[in-house]
Amino acid sequence: MSLVSGPGRGGDSSQLPEELSLAAEAHVKYIQSLDTRKDELEYHYTEHLRLNGVYWGLTALHLLNRPDALPRSETIDFVFSCQKPDGGFGAAPRHDAHMLYTCSAIQILATVDALDELDKRGPGKQKLGEWIANLQNKETGTFAGDEWGECDTRFICCGFIGLSLLGLLHLADVDKAVGYIKKCQNFDGGYGVSPGAESHSGQIFACLGALSIAGKLDTVKKVELSGWLSERQTEGGGLNGRPEKLEDVCYSWWVASSLAMLGCLNYIDGKKLETFILKCQDSERGGLADRPGDMVDVFHTVFGVAGLSLLGYPGLAEVDPIYCMPKKVTDKILGRKAS
């Protein structure tokens, strides 16, 4: 079970009906088809995204209320084929372990209720948690993505997501990481990849996610940040990642989830965003693109569907704005009462 982003076309906005609706069944079939095209060149040149692709496709299917659309046992087997003896996971078999893929692996196993398999196969849950925690810089508090040391606020979020789902967040120096995130905060309330870096919606999601898991959202400049995020909505209804950039379906997640964590999702026009997302779908062959008329892929499909879930689109399972997973899954694992 190893998905690949596949070809297709986004919807032609000039020919769309006035009443748009989500082509859920087409999207399910599109995701299922991504495991059947292993003879295509695209399958091989996206190998570095393989484990992420399974997470994206699986999450979209669960939000579409089709959790059984991918074979569970094959999915679990593929995840473990990517694990290394030291505990971490690579993008695909024979790839080096990295924080991004390790986070996806844990999210996949959590979603299919297979976290217990970590202690039945491979080095075990504790060693996996230690692998993640050992990537934290003991001096600064930030996390590296792998043994080569590249640091990025995304990796703090991935580390916190992985450790919290494993019940091992105590292995990290949470306060030190929070202190580092504070140093990445800018005058506009946003966050960048490192101290002094430009505010970007993706990094803002990562920092707010980590702060939410740490219980430290009170450190955020809520007024400035919620204003900056709400300004990401363009005239066409979509959201962009930073000023003067084009709208993109993936920011329907990064921006909207950040606003949701702040309790400010109503600061944007949800109906206009919903319409923009629906215009980006290929309603016949399935999948969503970054913008109307562009090529669809599984990355934009999951974040488009997740964005619609945040907006309360009918027929979709509720998404957790921190974890980008079905909320019923995270509620169960984290021992939260379902809202």
40-44, 248-252, 321-325 — which is least confidently predicted? 40-44
Query: Which of 161, 253, 136 is closest to 204 using CA atoms?
Result: 253
Q: Is residue 190 part of a domain?
A: no
Among residues 100, 131, 162, the one where a domain terminates is: 131
Question: What's the structural domain count of the chain?
Answer: 2
Q: Is residue 299 part of a domain?
A: yes
For the cut 70, the answer to whether the pLDDT of residue 239 exceeds it is yes
Q: Is residue 195 part of a domain?
A: no
Q: Is residue 324 part of a domain?
A: yes
CB-facing half-sphere around the CA of 215: CA atoms within 13 A: 4
pLDDT for position 35: 79
Among residues 106, 131, 156, the one where a domain terminates is: 131
Q: Is residue 9 part of a domain?
A: no
Based on the domain organization, do 225 and 125 belong to the same domain?
no
Task: Output the pTM of the full model.
Answer: 0.94
pLDDT tens per residue, range 61-86:
999 999 999 999 999 999 999 999 99
Query: How many helices (H) does the chain have, and how many strands (E)?
Result: 14, 2
Among residues 80, 97, 131, the one where a domain terminates is: 131
For the cut 60, the answer to whether the pLDDT of residue 157 exceeds it is yes
Q: Is residue 145 part of a domain?
A: no
Query: Which of 28, 92, 40 is closest to 66 using CA atoms?
Result: 28
Q: Is residue 187 part of a domain?
A: no
Q: Is residue 63 part of a domain?
A: yes
Query: Which of 110, 1, 96, 95 is closest to 57 using CA atoms?
Result: 1
Contact 191, 203 (CB under 8 A): yes
Nearest-angstrom CA–CA distance, 120 and 125: 9
Based on the domain organization, do 227 and 339 belong to the same domain?
yes
* H or E element at residue 205: helix 201-214
Q: Which two tokens stand for residue 260?
A: 């949701």
pLDDT for position 337: 77
Based on the domain organization, do 335 and 226 belong to the same domain?
yes
Domain that holds residue 330: 221-339
Q: Is the C-alpha dihedral spanning 109, 113, 118, 121 positive or negative?
A: negative
CB neighbour list of residue 101: distance below 8 Å, 6 or more residues apart: 51, 52, 82, 88, 89, 90, 91, 95
Based on the domain organization, do 336 and 228 belong to the same domain?
yes
